[in-house]
Structure 1
Protein backbone atom coordinates (compact mmCIF):
# COMPACT_ATOMS: atom_id res chain seq x y z
CA UNK A 1 0.00 0.00 0.00
CA UNK A 2 2.86 2.34 0.80
CA UNK A 3 4.38 1.97 -2.68
CA UNK A 4 0.97 2.46 -4.31
CA UNK A 5 0.37 5.62 -2.27
CA UNK A 6 3.80 6.96 -3.22
CA UNK A 7 3.15 6.21 -6.90
CA UNK A 8 -0.22 7.95 -6.76
CA UNK A 9 1.28 11.04 -5.10
CA UNK A 10 3.98 11.15 -7.77
CA UNK A 11 1.46 10.81 -10.59
CA UNK A 12 -0.58 13.72 -9.19
CA UNK A 13 2.35 15.90 -10.29
CA UNK A 14 2.33 14.58 -13.85
CA UNK A 15 -1.27 13.65 -14.72
CA UNK A 16 -2.40 17.23 -15.43
CA UNK A 17 0.56 17.75 -17.75
CA UNK A 18 -0.16 14.55 -19.67
CA UNK A 19 -3.90 15.26 -19.82
CA UNK A 20 -3.25 18.75 -21.16
CA UNK A 21 -1.50 17.09 -24.10
CA UNK A 22 -4.23 14.46 -24.57
CA UNK A 23 -2.12 11.59 -23.24
CA UNK A 24 -2.80 8.82 -20.77
CA UNK A 25 -0.19 7.55 -18.34
CA UNK A 26 0.14 4.35 -20.36
CA UNK A 27 0.64 6.23 -23.61
CA UNK A 28 3.32 8.39 -22.00
CA UNK A 29 5.17 5.35 -20.62
CA UNK A 30 5.17 3.78 -24.07
CA UNK A 31 6.33 6.98 -25.75
CA UNK A 32 9.15 7.44 -23.22
CA UNK A 33 10.27 3.83 -23.61
CA UNK A 34 10.35 4.15 -27.41
CA UNK A 35 12.11 7.51 -27.17
CA UNK A 36 14.78 6.13 -24.83
CA UNK A 37 15.23 2.68 -26.42
CA UNK A 38 14.15 3.07 -30.04
CA UNK A 39 11.71 0.74 -31.84
CA UNK A 40 10.56 -2.25 -29.78
CA UNK A 41 8.26 -5.22 -30.03
CA UNK A 42 4.97 -5.08 -28.08
CA UNK A 43 6.11 -7.74 -25.58
CA UNK A 44 9.25 -5.72 -24.86
CA UNK A 45 7.11 -2.62 -24.33
CA UNK A 46 4.80 -4.59 -22.02
CA UNK A 47 7.75 -5.58 -19.85
CA UNK A 48 9.36 -2.12 -19.80
CA UNK A 49 6.13 -0.22 -19.21
CA UNK A 50 4.48 -2.72 -16.86
CA UNK A 51 1.39 -2.95 -19.03
CA UNK A 52 -0.25 -6.34 -19.57
CA UNK A 53 -0.15 -7.74 -23.11
CA UNK A 54 -3.93 -7.50 -23.64
CA UNK A 55 -3.95 -3.86 -22.46
CA UNK A 56 -0.87 -3.11 -24.55
CA UNK A 57 -2.63 -4.32 -27.70
CA UNK A 58 -5.51 -1.92 -27.11
CA UNK A 59 -3.32 1.03 -26.20
CA UNK A 60 -1.09 0.51 -29.25
CA UNK A 61 -4.13 0.24 -31.54
CA UNK A 62 -5.45 3.58 -30.22
CA UNK A 63 -2.00 5.16 -30.47
CA UNK A 64 -1.65 3.97 -34.05
CA UNK A 65 -5.11 5.37 -34.90
CA UNK A 66 -4.07 8.79 -33.52
CA UNK A 67 -0.69 8.79 -35.32
CA UNK A 68 1.43 8.37 -32.17
CA UNK A 69 3.05 5.08 -33.20
CA UNK A 70 3.56 2.99 -36.30
CA UNK A 71 3.74 -0.78 -36.47
CA UNK A 72 5.89 -2.58 -38.99
CA UNK A 73 5.99 -6.33 -39.52
CA UNK A 74 9.33 -8.11 -39.63
CA UNK A 75 10.15 -9.26 -43.16
CA UNK A 76 11.45 -12.63 -41.96
CA UNK A 77 8.55 -13.29 -39.55
CA UNK A 78 5.20 -11.67 -40.31
CA UNK A 79 3.91 -12.55 -36.82
CA UNK A 80 6.38 -10.14 -35.22
CA UNK A 81 5.79 -6.39 -35.12
CA UNK A 82 8.12 -3.49 -34.40
CA UNK A 83 6.57 -0.39 -32.82
CA UNK A 84 8.09 3.05 -33.48
CA UNK A 85 7.32 6.65 -32.66
CA UNK A 86 5.92 8.83 -35.42
CA UNK A 87 7.21 12.31 -36.19
CA UNK A 88 4.13 13.64 -34.35
CA UNK A 89 4.82 11.73 -31.16
CA UNK A 90 8.55 12.40 -31.29
CA UNK A 91 7.79 16.10 -31.41
CA UNK A 92 5.36 15.70 -28.49
CA UNK A 93 7.90 13.77 -26.38
CA UNK A 94 10.57 16.36 -27.00
CA UNK A 95 8.16 19.12 -26.00
CA UNK A 96 7.09 17.30 -22.83
CA UNK A 97 10.49 16.07 -21.65
CA UNK A 98 11.51 19.54 -20.49
CA UNK A 99 8.31 19.98 -18.51
CA UNK A 100 8.59 16.50 -16.97
CA UNK A 101 12.20 17.13 -15.96
CA UNK A 102 11.18 20.48 -14.45
CA UNK A 103 8.63 18.68 -12.26
CA UNK A 104 11.28 16.19 -11.13
CA UNK A 105 13.59 19.12 -10.33
CA UNK A 106 10.79 20.74 -8.33
CA UNK A 107 10.31 17.49 -6.40
CA UNK A 108 14.04 17.34 -5.68
CA UNK A 109 13.98 20.94 -4.52
CA UNK A 110 11.04 20.31 -2.18
CA UNK A 111 12.17 16.96 -0.79
CA UNK A 112 15.93 17.37 -1.00
CA UNK A 113 18.25 15.67 -3.45
CA UNK A 114 19.51 13.16 -0.89
CA UNK A 115 15.99 11.96 -0.07
CA UNK A 116 15.18 11.44 -3.73
CA UNK A 117 18.46 9.63 -4.35
CA UNK A 118 17.87 7.34 -1.34
CA UNK A 119 14.40 6.49 -2.63
CA UNK A 120 15.78 5.64 -6.08
CA UNK A 121 18.51 3.45 -4.58
CA UNK A 122 16.02 1.70 -2.28
CA UNK A 123 13.55 1.00 -5.10
CA UNK A 124 16.36 -0.20 -7.39
CA UNK A 125 17.56 -2.56 -4.65
CA UNK A 126 14.01 -3.80 -4.05
CA UNK A 127 13.46 -4.49 -7.75
CA UNK A 128 16.81 -6.20 -8.10
CA UNK A 129 16.05 -8.43 -5.12
CA UNK A 130 12.59 -9.29 -6.40
CA UNK A 131 13.93 -10.18 -9.85
CA UNK A 132 16.38 -12.65 -8.33
CA UNK A 133 13.63 -14.58 -6.58
Structure 2
Protein backbone atom coordinates (compact mmCIF):
# COMPACT_ATOMS: atom_id res chain seq x y z
CA UNK A 1 0.00 0.00 0.00
CA UNK A 2 2.93 2.37 0.56
CA UNK A 3 3.50 2.41 -3.22
CA UNK A 4 -0.15 3.32 -3.75
CA UNK A 5 -0.49 6.05 -1.08
CA UNK A 6 0.92 8.87 -3.26
CA UNK A 7 -1.79 8.20 -5.85
CA UNK A 8 -4.48 8.35 -3.18
CA UNK A 9 -2.97 11.52 -1.69
CA UNK A 10 -2.99 13.10 -5.13
CA UNK A 11 -6.76 12.54 -5.20
CA UNK A 12 -7.25 13.47 -1.53
CA UNK A 13 -8.35 9.96 -0.54
CA UNK A 14 -7.37 7.79 2.39
CA UNK A 15 -6.76 4.05 2.01
CA UNK A 16 -10.01 3.30 3.81
CA UNK A 17 -12.00 5.70 1.63
CA UNK A 18 -10.54 4.03 -1.45
CA UNK A 19 -11.55 0.61 -0.07
CA UNK A 20 -15.14 1.84 0.40
CA UNK A 21 -15.24 3.24 -3.15
CA UNK A 22 -13.78 0.02 -4.55
CA UNK A 23 -16.23 -2.19 -2.63
CA UNK A 24 -19.24 -0.11 -3.69
CA UNK A 25 -18.06 -0.04 -7.28
CA UNK A 26 -17.94 -3.82 -7.36
CA UNK A 27 -21.17 -4.40 -5.46
CA UNK A 28 -23.50 -1.71 -6.75
CA UNK A 29 -25.15 -1.04 -3.40
CA UNK A 30 -24.72 -2.36 0.13
CA UNK A 31 -25.69 -1.39 3.64
CA UNK A 32 -23.03 0.00 5.98
CA UNK A 33 -22.40 -3.29 7.80
CA UNK A 34 -21.78 -5.08 4.48
CA UNK A 35 -19.39 -2.34 3.39
CA UNK A 36 -17.55 -2.54 6.72
CA UNK A 37 -17.17 -6.30 6.37
CA UNK A 38 -16.07 -6.32 2.72
CA UNK A 39 -13.69 -3.35 3.15
CA UNK A 40 -12.35 -4.58 6.54
CA UNK A 41 -13.18 -1.30 8.29
CA UNK A 42 -14.40 -0.86 11.86
CA UNK A 43 -17.92 0.58 12.18
CA UNK A 44 -16.99 3.85 14.01
CA UNK A 45 -14.44 4.70 11.32
CA UNK A 46 -16.90 3.77 8.60
CA UNK A 47 -19.55 6.14 9.95
CA UNK A 48 -17.17 9.11 9.69
CA UNK A 49 -15.96 7.94 6.32
CA UNK A 50 -19.46 7.61 4.90
CA UNK A 51 -20.26 11.12 6.05
CA UNK A 52 -17.08 12.46 4.45
CA UNK A 53 -17.64 10.59 1.16
CA UNK A 54 -21.26 11.71 1.11
CA UNK A 55 -20.26 15.36 1.66
CA UNK A 56 -17.82 15.06 -1.23
CA UNK A 57 -20.68 13.58 -3.31
CA UNK A 58 -18.82 10.32 -3.93
CA UNK A 59 -21.58 8.17 -2.41
CA UNK A 60 -25.32 8.46 -1.85
CA UNK A 61 -27.57 6.92 0.78
CA UNK A 62 -31.13 5.78 0.20
CA UNK A 63 -33.69 3.59 1.96
CA UNK A 64 -34.11 0.01 0.84
CA UNK A 65 -37.47 -0.31 -0.96
CA UNK A 66 -38.17 -3.72 0.63
CA UNK A 67 -37.07 -2.74 4.16
CA UNK A 68 -37.58 0.96 4.95
CA UNK A 69 -35.34 0.74 8.04
CA UNK A 70 -32.30 -0.36 6.02
CA UNK A 71 -30.13 2.35 4.48
CA UNK A 72 -28.17 1.41 1.37
CA UNK A 73 -25.04 3.06 0.03
CA UNK A 74 -24.06 3.37 -3.62
CA UNK A 75 -21.51 5.27 -5.63
CA UNK A 76 -22.65 8.61 -6.99
CA UNK A 77 -21.47 9.77 -10.43
CA UNK A 78 -18.52 11.60 -8.81
CA UNK A 79 -17.54 8.38 -7.00
CA UNK A 80 -17.68 6.40 -10.23
CA UNK A 81 -15.55 9.06 -11.93
CA UNK A 82 -13.05 8.91 -9.03
CA UNK A 83 -12.87 5.11 -9.30
CA UNK A 84 -12.28 5.32 -13.06
CA UNK A 85 -9.58 7.95 -12.50
CA UNK A 86 -7.68 6.12 -9.75
CA UNK A 87 -8.10 2.50 -10.87
CA UNK A 88 -5.77 2.64 -13.91
CA UNK A 89 -3.03 4.05 -11.67
CA UNK A 90 -3.82 1.35 -9.13
CA UNK A 91 -3.41 -1.39 -11.73
CA UNK A 92 -0.14 0.15 -12.93
CA UNK A 93 1.30 0.34 -9.41
CA UNK A 94 0.30 -3.24 -8.58
CA UNK A 95 1.81 -4.43 -11.87
CA UNK A 96 5.07 -2.64 -10.97
CA UNK A 97 5.05 -4.22 -7.51
CA UNK A 98 4.42 -7.67 -8.99
CA UNK A 99 7.20 -7.17 -11.53
CA UNK A 100 9.58 -6.02 -8.79
CA UNK A 101 8.74 -8.58 -6.12
CA UNK A 102 6.95 -11.37 -8.00
CA UNK A 103 10.12 -13.26 -8.95
CA UNK A 104 11.34 -13.11 -5.36
CA UNK A 105 8.01 -14.55 -4.15
CA UNK A 106 8.12 -17.38 -6.67
CA UNK A 107 11.71 -18.22 -5.73
CA UNK A 108 10.82 -18.19 -2.03
CA UNK A 109 7.84 -20.49 -2.64
CA UNK A 110 9.97 -22.89 -4.64
CA UNK A 111 12.54 -22.96 -1.83
CA UNK A 112 9.77 -23.70 0.68
CA UNK A 113 8.45 -26.52 -1.51
CA UNK A 114 11.95 -28.01 -1.72
CA UNK A 115 12.25 -27.86 2.06
CA UNK A 116 8.84 -29.51 2.48
CA UNK A 117 9.78 -32.23 0.00
CA UNK A 118 12.94 -32.96 2.01
CA UNK A 119 10.90 -33.27 5.21
CA UNK A 120 8.66 -35.92 3.64
CA UNK A 121 11.66 -38.14 2.77
Structure 2 length-normalised TM: 0.82
1:66 and 2:56 matched: yes
Which runs of 5 or more residues in structure 2 are unaligned? Answer: 110-121
Moved more, 71-80 or 44-53: 71-80
The CA distance in 2 between the partners of 1:112 and 1:76, in whole Å, is 47
The CA distance in 2 between the partners of 1:77 and 1:49, in whole Å, is 23
The CA distance in 1 between the partners of 2:59 and 2:93, in whole Å, is 26
Structure 1 stretches of 4+ with a deviation exceeding 4 A read none
Which runs of 5 or more residues in structure 1 are unaligned? Answer: 1-10, 120-133
SS of match in other structure, 1:71: strand
Write out aligned runs for 1:44-83 (5 A). Answer: 44-83=34-73
Write out aligned runs for 1:1-133 (5 A). Answer: 11-112=1-102, 115=105
Structure 1 length-normalised TM: 0.75
The CA distance in 2 between the partners of 1:36 and 1:18, in whole Å, is 19
The CA distance in 2 between the partners of 1:113 and 1:30, in whole Å, is 31
Q: As a proportion of its length, which structure holds more helix?
A: 1
Q: Considering only aligned residues, what root-mean-square deviation do their CA atoms show, in Å?
A: 1.8
Residue 79 of structure 1: CA displacement? 2.0
Greater relative contact order, per chain length (Cα 8 Å cut-off, separation 6+): 2
1:113–1:83: structure 2 CA closer, same or farther, 3 Å change rule? farther
Residues paired across the two proteins, number: 108
SS of match in other structure, 2:68: coil
The CA distance in 1 between the partners of 2:77 and 2:23, in whole Å, is 15
Residue 72 of structure 1: CA displacement? 0.4
**Greater Rg by CA:** 2
